Amino acid sequence: MAEVQTIHDVACGFCGLGCDDLTVEVEGRQVRAKAPVCPEAARLLRRLDTADPMPRVAGEVIDQADAAKAAHQILAAARAPVIGGLGVDMAGAGAAVDLAIRFGGVLDHYASDGLFRNYAAAQRTGWLSTTLAEVRNRCDVLLVVGDDPAATWGRLFERLFPEKPLFAGSNRRVIFLGGAPGEKTRAQLAGASVVHHATTDAVAALEALGSFTAGRRPPGSCFGGIEADTLAGLAEELRNAHYAVVTWNAADLDDGDLVAERATALVDTLNVTTRAGVFPLGGRDNIIGVNQLLLWRLGYPLRTAVQGQASSHDGTLFATQAALADADVLVWISAFRPEPPPAFGGKIIALAHPETVFDKEPDVLIPVGTPGVDHAGTAFRMDSIVSLPLGALRVATLPSVAEAVRCIAEG
C-alpha cells in the first residue's frame, strides 16, 4: 500500500480564479482534494490508480514516437490547420505557437467566446478595470450582472469577501442584477447585505442604470423589468460608493458584448467623481495566459492565423468554428480537462486529457498530463495580472503538451 501524502497550499489552474490554498491527498497514483476546494476542482483533480491510455494512430495503439511522427506527417501535408482547444499551461502555449510558426495554423482557445465579447469594450473603447485583491479589500458596492457566477467559480464570493477587508468596512453591498444568488453564494456573502433584482433584459437595465448614474432620467418607467425608481436608487448607491465594482460572465450572456459595453460606460461615469472598476469573469483553462503569450509573441490575441511568413488576426473568421469550415486538419489540445474536440470532417490530431471521450476516433491521439497534477507549469488568473506556479502532485507518466509538441515538431 502506498502511503497517503497530504499536500497543502496546492494552486489550482482550472477555472481562472486561481485559488492556491487547496489541500490534496496523494496515495500512489491516486489524487483527491480535501477542503477548501470547490466541486469543480475536486472533480478535475481526482485521479484513480488506473493505467494511462496509450497513444493511438487510427485507433491502433502505438508508441509515442511513432504517434508524433504520424502527427508530423499530417501537419507537413496540411493546407490549413487549426490549432484549437489550447487548454494548456504557459510552456504548452509557447509550444503551440511554435507549432503554428512551423506548420501554419489558426490559434484559438475553446472558451474564447466570452473573451471576445469583452473585447467589444476592452479593445474598442478601453475600460477601467480592477483585480481580485482590490475588489476583496476596497469594493463596498458590487454589482453582479447575469446569473450567479458561483456555479462556475465556486469560491468567488469567499475570495472577494474575506472576514476583514482592509478598507471596504463592514457594510458591504452586493446587488445581483439578473439571476438570484444561490444558497452557497448567500452563505459566502453572510457578512454583506445582498439584494436581488430579477431582470428580463440585463442590457436595458444596465443601460438605464448608467443613465441614472450620469444624472439623466431615461424615458420610461421600467427597464428590463426593473422599476425606474429602483434603478435610480441603485444609481444613487453606486455614486455614493467609495469603490464600486461591476462584474459579469460574458461567456454566459448572449449579449455579453453589450453587457461589457454598458458596464464599461457605467464605470467610466462613476470614475468622474468616485472610484470604480470592471471585474470581468472568465479565465478557464489558462485562456488568459495563452492570450497573453500570443500578444507578446505575435502581437495579436487569440483567433490569429499564422500563415505564409506572417500572422493576421480576425476575431470572427479565426474563431474555431468558423476557421474549421476552411480547415483540413485540427490539432486539438486540452490538458486541463477532458474537453472533446468539436465535430470536424478533416483529420484530427488530439493532445488530450486521458479521460477524453471522443465522438470519432482521432487520426492521432497522444494523451498528455495535466499541469498542476502530473507536471509543474504556470497558469494565469482571470484578471491577466497574476499568474501562479502549478506544482506536480505525482510522478508524471504522460508527456506534457510542451514535450508532446516538441516530439511532433521533430517528427
Partner 1 sequence: MRLRLKGGRVLDPANGENGVASGTVRDIEIEDGRIVAATDLRADAEYDLGGDVVMAGGIDLHSHIAGGKMNLARLLMQEDRRAFPEMPGNFCGCGGGRAVPTAHATGCRYAELGYTTVFEPAMVGANARAAHLEMADIPNLDTGAYLVLGNDDYFQRLLAAGAGQEQVNAYVGWMIEATQAFAIKIVNPGGINAFKFNARKMDLDEANPHYAVTPRKVLTTLIRAVTELGLPHPIHLHGCNLGVPGNDETTLATMLATEGRRLHLTHLQFHSYGTEGDKRFSSSAARIAEMVNANPNISVDVGQVMFGQTITASADYMSQYRNRGLASPKKSIGMDIELDAACGVVPFEYKDKSFVNALQWAIGLELFLLVEDPWRIFLTTDHPNGGPFTTYPHLIRLLMDRDFRNAQLATLNKAAQAHTLLAQIKREYSLEEVAILTRAAPARILGLTDKGHLGPGAVADIAVHTEDADREAMFSTTRMVFKNGRLIVKDGVVVELAQGTTHVARPEFDRSVDKDMQRWFDESVGLKSKHFRIADGELRGGAGPTILKCEGVAS
Q: Find the binding residues for partner 1 in span 342-371 (CB under 8 A).
A: none
123 is an interface residue for partner 1 by CB under 8 A = yes
392 is an interface residue for partner 1 by CB under 8 A = no
Please select the residue that binds partner 1; options are 72, 109, 138, 303, rule is CB under 8 A. 138
Q: Where are the alpha helices (DSSP H) in 26-89?
A: 39-45, 64-76
| The total number of residues written for the chain in this structure | 411
In the complex, the smallest distance separating the C-beta of residue 374 from partner 1, rounded to whole angstroms, is: 18
In the complex, the smallest distance separating the C-beta of residue 44 from partner 1, rounded to whole angstroms, is: 19
Contact 161, 188 (CB under 8 A): yes
Whole-angstrom distance, CA of residue 206 vs CA of residue 177: 8
166 is an interface residue for partner 1 by CB under 8 A = yes
Which span (168-176, 191-199, 341-349, 383-391) binds partner 1, by CB under 8 A? Answer: 383-391
36 is an interface residue for partner 1 by CB under 8 A = no
Task: From 51, 112, 99, 13, select the one nearest 321 (Cα to Cα).
Answer: 112
Burial class, 79, CB count within 10 angstroms (exposed 0-12 / middle 13-18 / buried 19+): exposed
Q: Find the binding residues for partner 1 in span 260-279 (CB under 8 A).
A: 271, 274-275, 277
Given the C-alpha cell 436595458, which residue does it identify?
204
Please select the residue that binds partner 1; options are 101, 214, 232, 409, rule is CB under 8 A. 101
25 is an interface residue for partner 1 by CB under 8 A = no
Q: Does the CA dihedral 99-105-109-114 come out positive or negative?
A: positive
Q: Find the binding residues for partner 1 in span 315-344 (CB under 8 A).
A: none
Whole-angstrom distance, CA of residue 6 vs CA of residue 32: 10
65 is an interface residue for partner 1 by CB under 8 A = no
In the complex, the smallest distance separating the C-beta of residue 167 from partner 1, rounded to whole angstroms, is: 7
227 is an interface residue for partner 1 by CB under 8 A = no
User: Which residue pairs from 307-314 have beta carbons closer than 8 angstroms and sit at least 24 positions apart in sequence?
Assistant: 307/104, 307/105, 308/104
Which span (134-142, 173-181, 205-213, 363-371) binds partner 1, by CB under 8 A? Answer: 134-142
Please select the residue that binds partner 1; options are 388, 398, 401, 404, rule is CB under 8 A. 388
In the complex, the smallest distance separating the C-beta of residue 47 from partner 1, rounded to whole angstroms, is: 22
DSSP 159-218: HHS-SS-SSS-S--EEEEEESPP-HHHHHHTTTSEEEEE--S-HHHHHHHHHHHHTT---
Q: Find the binding residues for partner 1 in span 285-314 (CB under 8 A).
A: 292-293, 295-301, 309-311, 313
Task: From 235, 42, 245, select the one nearest 160 (Cα to Cα).
Answer: 245
Q: Does the bond joining 371 to the residue before it have cis omega, within 30 degrees of 0?
A: no
Whole-angstrom distance, CA of residue 271 vs CA of residue 97: 39
Please select the residue that binds partner 1; options are 130, 199, 213, 370, rule is CB under 8 A. 130
386 is an interface residue for partner 1 by CB under 8 A = yes
406 is an interface residue for partner 1 by CB under 8 A = no
The type of residue at 184 is K
In the complex, the smallest distance separating the C-beta of residue 337 from partner 1, rounded to whole angstroms, is: 22
Q: Find the helix or strand (DSSP H, E) in which 71 lies.
A: helix 64-76
Residues that bind partner 1 (CB under 8 A): 9, 11, 18, 20-21, 90, 94, 97-98, 101, 119, 122-134, 136-138, 159, 162, 164, 166-167, 242-243, 271, 274-275, 277, 292-293, 295-301, 309-311, 313, 378, 380, 384-389
